[in-house]
Amino acid sequence: MRHYSPHRDRRKGISSGSQKLLAFALFCAILLQISYPLVHGETLRLITLGVVYAGALAMLLHALLAFGARYLISYFSITFVFAITTEQIGLHTGWPFGSYSYDTSLGVKIFTLPLIVPFAWIMIAHPVLVAARRLTQHWVFIYGGAAMAAWDLFLDPQMVSAGRWKWSFTGAHVPFQPEIPLSNTFGWLFAGMGLMALLHVLLPRERRKGGAELVAVDIFILWTFFAGVVGNIFFFDRAGIASFAGLIYAVIFAPYLFSRWFGRP
């Protein structure tokens, strides 16, 4: 019984006001994602931007409430700079993601890169790092890189279909995603491994005393799976992506969710 029903964490946790603020931020991020397949035109463009910024804000808020200001500042700085550097290399050299370009509809740019792009990295990397650190101590960068690549299997086809970015390539493509080169998935794997290695080494590992629980991360991870599968089947008519990306995503994140449900041995 102790193995499968470990003692609960008896730390006090965050205040009621902080809990409500975090819940509201997460609710807004999810609500915007729900509205995504229901709108068109300029409204869709604004919703696309809102989904990323709201998701990034929710994860940054959780980072602050769970791990403290030092974690938040370091996480934001490292991820932001790493994303800009990697994307600039990718745009100018075609490595590691392939030859691609962003549409002007993504809004304001920083160093010729849409500002929303590094915030998409920020939205994804925090929950991935939390999951990787819970599962392993020595192979965080491998699990984290695989998790970021799995997450991207839902993100890229949706954005390419909406015309937010595109690739120019010949050769192998991601299964059920003929518009996306296979090199992009490997690029996310290796770039994700590099980012996870940096974050794991440089960021505090323990939650602060009285810090927020990991429930917001759990919800965000589960919602991404649910929205990706349901959206591709019922709204985007891409059942192949739902099955392929959904299977990989589930395999990658199931061990983390299992450990959250039953606890560590």
Higher pLDDT, 10 or 112: 112
Query: Does residue 100 sit in helix, strand or coil?
Result: strand
pLDDT of residue 215: 96
The predicted pLDDT at position 208 comes to 87
Q: Are 229 and 253 in contact (CB under 8 A)?
A: no
User: Does 232 have pLDDT greater than 80?
Assistant: yes
pLDDT digits (tens, 9 = 90+) for 65-87: 999 999 999 999 999 999 999 99
pLDDT for 238-261, tens place per residue?
A: 999 999 999 999 999 999 999 999
Q: How confident is the model at residue 263 (pLDDT cuts 50, 70, 90)?
A: confident
- Residue 29 CA to residue 248 CA, distance in Å, equals 24
